[in-house]
Structure 1
Amino acid sequence: MSTEPWWRRAVVYQVYPRSFADSDGDGIGDIRGILQRLDHIAALGVDAVWLSPVYVSPQVDNGYDISDYQAIDPTFGTLADLDELIEAMHARGLRLVMDLVVNHTSDQHPWFQESRDPASPRRDWYIWRPGRPDPDDPGATLPPNNWSSVFLGSAWELDPVSGEYYLHSFTPQQPDLNWAEPAVRQAVYAMMRWWLDRGVDGFRMDVINLISKPEGLPDAEQGNQLEMVVNDPGLHRYLAEMRREVFDAYPDRTFLTVGEMLAVTPEQAVLATDPARRELDMVFQFEHMDVDHGALGKYDPQPLDLRALKASLARWQEMLAGQGWNSLYLNNHDQPRVVSRWGDDGRYWRESATLLGGVLHLHQGTPFVYQGEEIGMTNYPFARPEDYRDVEAARAYEIATMMGLPEELILGSMARMSRDNARTPMQWDGDAEAGFTTGRSWLPVHQNHLWLNVAAQQDDPHSVLSFYKRLIALRKTEDVITTGSFRLLEPDHARLWAFVRESGDQRLLVVANVSGDPLRLPAGDPFAALDGGRLLIGNYPDGAGDAPGGAEGGAGAEPGVLRPWELRAVYV
């Protein structure tokens, strides 16, 4: 019997519940909506669902500000609804991975409200500090150090109730928990076990590498809190303790633990995911998602340099090989739609959507598919500041305006990079609200839902949806995709993305033309073997590989030439 953990051959589907399916017509997705659409997820062939937060929350940051970890927000339904969802998923062979947000809570959480009293036993559950004297105003104070929050501005907020500052890595409504306090850790572990007892199969841990803060909370050189926190050695002690206290309590079950880690390096990821260290199974890292960020960060987007993107992913493949494990993603609730970001969502929409998905899934690791990615959903044409709901976009607009940047530049950057692009409603059909709701959706539905939707692609063998189903199925049958070594080819080529996967006598060549023009492949090995090889999968109809090995590698194409946005994976 294989001892390989189930998640190594798995594909995970992420559901952002607010935007997935609405069962009651209030314009906001909910758990019963997920139940109604569960057969779509199962039909994809995925193995697990990562569910973004459905806990009770004031929704300042769309549910990532939790005020009760053990209750469901009425916006999304009830605890009984979630229990029914778990049962229905398990009946379909699907596992449920819950979002775990324990770097911070909402400021409305009873723990924080109690901690505002300096005499409270829970005072040390959060990070409170007195202010520093303000040399320019003897009656005022300054924050305890110079850290800035991820959402810009100071990471400290003065609380008028207690007269001290509390730390918040994100918005002021998201105070950081103090993981150095043992009682905090035990409360978190007890909550996690409570969910596992209900049948949950693992956790995606939000910004987990921020939980350990450096002793003394010293100033940062540039004021950037992340440089002081993300690599703090105490993280590994907490993760190992979590493994012992939570997951080891269930010796007959195998869970999935995914840690979202900001500014993490491959070296640090190996420490967190090496099975011998017993911390996490894999991490979400952002290096490859930052390659198009300019000097001013995310909202200073630059044209994609393919060489930087493929080099980043290749480095993670090589560094974690045989030691840790990669997660693979290009889309999630925090990223704009990749077909609009790095593909061509106009003339070559289908080809570029399938190419980007295919290349990613043929790397080693566990792929994550974000809702709508499987049909090639695109960015929404946001045009005005008031169109946005995302707190990050609103703060970015405020800062950019204060800097005096031109309005046209600010709005163009927001339209391209805002997280709201990922959060527009799932496009199920061509009805008025795309089949998402019978009411009016909380974010606008893209007008292209009239043709870009699940129903339109369901029975089309050449659709993006059909391609994703074939792609996902390959992980169950092709050992080379799961276990094979990885070697990047032509790293300096600006349009060609090519690599070889090898396992035993299997040698899979993956080639992709990341451009709208035909591309002649380099001469010599291994490219010379491409046209005579056995096609595993391709994204053009005359070589789509409807069944593994169902077509010759060069079918319908000029020998040695890739068509615009063409992908081929061929055994050579």
Structure 2
Amino acid sequence: MTNPTPNPAAGRPANRPASAWLADAVLYQIYPQTFADSDGDGIGDLAGITEHLDHLAWLGVDTVWLTPCFTSPFRDAGYDVSDYFSVAPRYGTEEDLAALVDAAGRRGIRILLDLVPGHTSDRHPWFLASADDPTDQRYIWADRQTGRFVPSPGKRPGFYLPNFFDFQPALNYGYARGHGEEPWRQPVDAEGPRQNRAALREIMDHWLRAGVAGFRADMAYSLVKDDPDRAETAKLWRELRARLERSHPGAVLISEWGRPELALPAGFHADFFLHFAGRAVTSLWDNGEGMASASWESGPCYFDPQGRGSMAEFVAAWRATGTAVEPGSGAPGAGHVILPTANHDYNRLATGSRTPEQLRAAFAFLLTWPTLPAIYYGDEIGMRFVPGLPDKEGSLLEPTNNRAGSRTPMQWDDTANAGFSTAPADRLYQPLDPDPGRPNVAAQVADPDSVLHLVRRMIALRRSTPALGSHGDVEVLHTGYPFVHLRGGTHLVVVNPRREPAYFAHPGLEGARALEVRGVIATADGVSAEGFGYGIFELSGPAGR
């Protein structure tokens, strides 16, 4: 990009309390392996991210979440950590991370790291030592094979409990119940759990002192075992949150939990709506193509060109969190729900038959709803999910659930390798989207009618209009087609993501001022929406029921 317009929030982020700055955040998730390669080895790196910060600043992003960048054997894309205190050489050095944090801060962007608290790699020195020492309690060991326990790879007899893949041994945070029934069922205050809690505090302190703004906690719900109501797990996180409030008041904790009604009372500032936890996300974006799993709740989605879904499921899920009324007070139990476009584990917005026109309607909704928006890298230009890719670093979970399709290289321009890397094509971490019409940043920057420009305008509108942000209240007027809701009593949002036109009768819209509109007309009697239309209107008078 050339001479981007500055981010209006540019300048080093002030050290405001996390509960204050997070309320206005627009998050952007980067999968470092495939974002930008600065050294030509085919794998993205931290220096590459730094080189492209102007894109994020121009877009209006102010918070970046990096998937794990710690040292790892990368059997699970970095979610198998072998050293929490060093940067993986494929990404660069600690100095490269410091340069990224500094350069981002000068553009008003905070950097969040992905913390993996529940397990390590089986090559972590902690585990290698534990596999040779029968007295070590850092991991969960059994004297016999039961359930998912895996045979010891070392001199220690017995079996260890994995947390996800077999090569990810679970760190021992204790068991909530059944103490004494088996030797491995230790209480949460046993020596091993105490060691691991202390290590977790040390890891967080280390990176917060290095200037990062906080963490996204992977599998945050998984720490204490046999904890059916997650009470002991919640207690652990509340203790960590209280400590952060004292020592790093500007630091944020975001969870991968998928249950905001549990995660926020557990002390997290925010939690994601996720594909594996109910229908909140799948009822919106899942068009039945791309990735699938028997464990996910399925059904028609609202952003379907045939118009087979309803927003009622999503609205009910959002209301059930019980957190949307008063987010961000700073007290455990108050906070934010994050709604992502996609992530490294789930389909992109542009999957299968979904059209670019639908992406516009999706962003019009995402950036006007009172959840915090999270944009997965490339979704702002409509990068598509690429089916049929080979397994890469644990991407294949089930025959129908291959995450590789959401992890392809960022498409910067129309040069070789889409501007991602100067490496030969066969050395890229993942192959490029082979579609010759694939979108790219440079082309969309040059086109003011592009999806990218719409996302930029919508972020700016959200930021300049408090009623459209996370604090503004919402009144849902219609959950069919079009979806119609009122923000702050002053702004009407209309979204019609199906191919056919739709109409909603509603009086009192005289004098409505169009702020961002495509194919929607507001009259004194209601709103008419063309197929794939959307509109945000400022009202001249009350319009709620």
Whether TM-score is above 0.5 comes out as yes
Percent of pairs with identical residues = 33
Change in CA separation of 1:474 and 1:513 when aligned onto 2, cut-off 3 Å: same
1:534 corresponding residue in structure 2? 513
* 1:312 paired to 2:319: no
The match for 1:365 is: 371
Maintained 8 Å contact 1:260/1:283: yes
Letter in 2 for 1:257: L
Choose the corresponding residue for 2:487, options 501, 505, 529: 501
CA offsets 1:294-343 (integer angstroms, 9 cap, x no match): 996268965425656552245324621224321121211111111326xx
- For residues 431-471 of structure 1, the C-alpha deviation after alignment (integer angstroms, 9 at most, x for no partner) is 23111011122211113365510010002111111011111
SS at match of 2:85: strand
- Contact kept, 8 Å, 1:429 with 1:450, in 2: the verdict is no
Matched, 1:125 2:134: no
Which of residues 458, 466, 490 in structure 1 aligns to 2:478? 490
Which residue number corresponds to residue 186 of structure 1? 198
Query: Is the contact made by 1:390 and 1:419 (CA closer than 8 Å) also made in structure 2?
Result: no
Residues 165-189 of structure 1: CA deviation (Å, up to 9, x unaligned): 2111210111111123111110110
Matched, 1:159 2:146: no
| 2:358 alignment partner AA | S
Structure 1-normalised TM-score?
0.78
Which residues in structure 2 correspond to 1:158-177 (within 5 Å)? 158-161=151-154, 162-177=156-171
Task: Evaluate the alpha carbon distance shift between residue 562 and residue 198 of structure 1 in structure 2; reply closer, same or farther with a 3 A threshold.
Answer: same
User: 2:344 is aligned with what amino acid?
Assistant: H
Question: Are 1:453 and 2:440 counterparts?
Answer: yes
Give the Cα separation in 2 of the matches to 1:324 and 1:35: 30
Equivalence for 1:261? 257
1:565 aligns to what SS in structure 2? strand
Q: What letter is aligned with 1:25?
A: G
Task: Judging by fraction of residues, say which structure has more helix.
Answer: 1
2:272 to 261, 271, 284: 284
Paired residue secondary structure (1:538): strand
What 5-or-longer segments of structure 1 have no aligned partner? 132-141, 147-154, 215-227, 273-278, 398-413, 544-552
Q: Deviations over 1:367-409 (max 9, x none)?
A: 1111101111111142xxx62325252x412xxxxxxxxxxxx
Count of residue correspondences: 477
Separation of aligned partners in 2, 1:317 and 1:377? 31
- 2:414 paired residue number: 430
1:139-198 Cα offsets, whole Å, 9 max, x none, are xxx41xx4xxxxxxxx32121532322111210111111123111110110111010111
Q: Is the CA contact (8 Å cut-off) linking 1:497 and 1:513 kept in structure 2?
A: yes
Letter in 2 for 1:508: H
Given that 1:22 and 1:28 are in contact with CA atoms closer than 8 Å, whether structure 2 keeps it comes out as: yes
CA shift in 2, pair 1:63/1:103, >3 Å: same
- Measured in 2, the distance between the counterparts of 1:449 and 1:51 equals 29
Q: Is the contact made by 1:336 and 1:418 (CA closer than 8 Å) also made in structure 2?
A: no
Which has the higher mean CA deviation after the structures are superposed, 189-198 or 279-288? 279-288
- Per-residue Cα deviation, 1:499-544 (whole angstroms, up to 9, x for no partner): 2212xxx42221111211222x13234xx62x7411222345xx8x
**Which residue in the other structure is 2:214 paired with?**
202
**Given that residues 462 and 468 in structure 2 are in contact (C-alpha distance below 8 angstroms), is that contact kept between their aligned partners in structure 1?**
yes
**AA aligned opposite 1:241:** E
Displacement of 1:243 in angstroms is 1.8
Q: 1:455 to 1:372 in 2, by over 3 A?
A: same
Q: Which residue of 1 aligns with 2:450?
A: 463
Aligned residue identity for 1:312: F
Match of 2:225 among 189, 210, 213: 213
Q: Which moved more, 1:18-27 or 1:311-320?
A: 311-320
Structure 2: 5+ residue runs without aligned partners?
Answer: 1-13, 174-187, 303-307, 327-333, 540-545
Residue identity matched to 1:289 = V
**Aligned CA distance change for structure 1 residues 449 and 163 (closer, same or farther; 3 Å):** farther
Which one of the candidate residues 506, 509, 519 is aligned to 1:524?
Answer: 506
Q: Is the 8 A contact 1:328 1:361 kept in 2?
A: no
| Cα contact 1:350–1:463 (8 A) shared by 2 | no
- What amino acid maps onto 1:570 in structure 2? F
Distance 1:55 1:370 in 2: 20
Within the alignment, does 1:333 sit opposite 2:333 as a pair? no
What is the aligned partner in structure 2 of residue 514 from structure 1? Answer: 497
2:385 is equivalent to residue 379 of structure 1 = yes
Shift in alpha-carbon separation, 1:248–1:87, aligned structure 2, 3 A: same
Choose which of 52, 58, 61 in structure 2 pairs with 1:43. Answer: 58
The answer to whether the aligner puts 1:32 opposite 2:14 as a matched pair is no
Which deviations, in whole Å up to 9, do the C-alpha atoms of 1:539-566 show, x marking residues without a partner?
A: 45xx8xxxxxxxxx559xx984211111
Q: Could you say if the C-alpha distance between residues 269 and 336 of structure 1 is closer, same or farther in structure 2, counting changes exceeding 3 Å? A: same
Whether 2:538 is the aligned partner of 1:571: answer yes
Secondary structure, counterpart of 2:504 in structure 1: coil
Distance in 1 of aligned mates of 2:239 and 2:526 = 57
Alpha-carbon distance, 1:114 to partner? 0.9
Q: Is the 8 A contact 1:486 1:500 kept in 2?
A: yes
Cα distance change of structure 1 residues 52 and 309 upon mapping to structure 2, 3 Å threshold: farther
CA contact (8 A) 2:482 2:529 kept: no
- Cα distance in 2 between the residues matched to 1:431 and 1:298: 40
Aligned with 1:433: secondary structure?
A: helix
Distance 1:450 1:475 in 2: 31
Q: CA RMSD in A?
A: 2.6
Check conservation: 1:299, 1:396, Cα contact below 8 A: no
8 Å Cα contact 1:20/1:425 also seen in 2:
yes
The 1-side partners of 2:210 and 2:435 are apart by 40
